Amino acid sequence: MPSVKVCLWNIQNFGQPSGKYDGTGVNNALRNRFVARFIVRNNIDVVMIQEVLPGAENALADLTAKLRALCPVGQRDWAYSFCGSAIRNDDVDVVTDEDDLIDRTGARSECYGVLWRTRRTRFTMIEGIYQIAHGTTIHQQSPLNISQLGRPTGNMTDDLGAETFGATGGFTRDNVFPWEYDEMNDDYDLLDHWPQLGYPRTSIVDARRPSWSRSRRPAYVVIKLDDAFDTLCPIAAYHAPSNQQMASWGAYQAGLARELYVVDGVNDDDEPEPDEDPVLTDAGFFGGDFNYSVEQAAWPDAYRYFVDARSHTAAAGAYLTPVPPPTDAAPDRRTTVQIVTGAAHNVPIVSANTDDYLRYKIDLGFHRSIDTIAGERVDLLTEIMNNPGGYYNDPLVQAEAYMAHVEGQINNPFNPYQERLAVTGPEYYKPKKVGRRTVYTWCPLICGAWGGTFTNWATSRAQFGAHNITDARRAAEYIHIFVSDHLPLVATINF
């Protein structure tokens, strides 16, 4: 059975210049060694990345080169593209080029990236409706689109007479989407004009209401499957605001995005036709980092428009299947990696159980049909510990080489910084102004989020260098510090 495999992944600060990502090279070369191996080993065809930094083009080019190098001659067909995440201002009615998009929302600057195979017979990547990318592999048209339209929304009056914001209509599966009623034929017509859809801004000082501009919104690509129907399949990624209230509102709004329901058709040259009636989506994968925890008791809450059944009522949804399922046990739904805990984020986790290193349940994927698409959260900790066939030997050895490089710098007698090599790894004496005083504190040189570092530098170096990770702590250290603090979501589209 033919299939296409797609991946959604929040790769922490992708493109950030940093020794822990670059190693002794540049452009995230150290991290890209692992990511490329993961993609090729898992036979992934399309990767949508969140948290891509605006200056990440060289890092994306490096990852593309590493992917090509791992493929046999004649199959080195990987390409990349990336674009901004928010509409520049309210004067932009329709995004038509890269200048209509910005990267900075609130205190962060982020883009979306996509990597894909360009010469597969199983699927065709459709070029973007407009060329909105900041950068794309040479001789390629960018496939990226920014989600702008959605379900009709507005203030509604509930049963008690109170006004609340919500969707003002839905769709049914069997009758072509009922929204515009055709009196002559006593039937509903497919919406051909979808309204603009706002999203919450990312700053906690912004009002908790949808905004057209300067708010992060989903980005998506469309692939055409080589099946009997030339099925169009949207693949979308969304990175919601970090603030809990804003995040829940973002998840709510994302469930109304047009691409969950329809996409533009394509002509015989596989070019999009935005002026024609849209096409019902019978397959698709939509998700990302929603920054809003999935708790069984509250399900579906903000995600109801993703999963509720289709109908012509305001409560209707896109009828998608979530990955990981909310009915799974809590450890199987956690998608972020941690190596420290405690109120001050300074208590190392030393458990032998990989589940104890997984934290928030905030990355989710949603796919269209349970019969044709299978989705999973990939447990990278277990995968790196198993290291099937020694496939991850190279990135592990290179991580150890970087640690040796850092150690050599610290032991250099001409190094002017007051650094030391503790059992947890290299640290330095960092000055910090407190009022009129200067206070010095020890900080790790190689760290992940919240300043987490190694529990035992020598043990970690030895296991990485021998490409043989034997305990959960070293697996968590490697993934969290050198790769990302999020796990990837993967879906297989069978046809």
Residue 270 in this model has a pLDDT that exceeds 90:
yes
Domain match, 212 and 277 both? yes
Q: How many domains, the chain?
A: 2
Do 242 and 342 belong together in one domain?
Answer: yes
Instruction: Please tell me the predicted confidence (pLDDT) of residue 371.
Output: 67
Q: Are residues 162 and 271 in the same domain?
A: yes
Q: Which CATH number does the domain housing residue 29 bear?
A: 3.60.10.10
Same domain, 430 and 374: no
Whether 384 and 398 share a structural domain? no
Same-domain status, 191 and 234: yes
Q: Are residues 198 and 287 in the same domain?
A: yes
469 and 333 in a common domain:
no
* C-alpha to C-alpha distances, 480 to 29, 112, 119, 365, 477, nearest whole angstrom: 16, 21, 33, 21, 5
326 and 347 part of one domain:
yes
Q: Which amino acid is at 452?
A: G
pLDDT at position 187 is 55
> Can the peptide bond before residue 54 be classed as cis, meaning omega within 30 degrees of 0?
no
Verify that 427 and 291 share a domain, yes or no. Answer: no
* 90-114: pLDDT as tens digits: 999 999 999 999 999 988 999 999 9
CA distance 19 to 346: 22
The pair of three-digit structure tokens given for residue 434, joined into one six-digit string: 């407190």
pLDDT in tens, 385-433: 999 999 999 999 999 999 999 999 888 888 777 677 887 788 877 788 8
pLDDT at 7 over 60: yes
- Range(s) of the domain holding residue 87: 3-390+483-494
CA dihedral 476, 115, 239, 11 (to 10 degrees): 20
Are 121 and 219 in contact by the 8 Å Cβ rule? The answer is no
**Which residues 6+ apart lie within 8 Å of 67 measured at CB?**
36, 39, 40, 78, 115
pLDDT digits (tens, 9 = 90+) for 327-384: 899 999 999 999 988 887 778 899 999 999 999 999 999 998 756 788 999 999 999 9
pTM of the model: 0.93
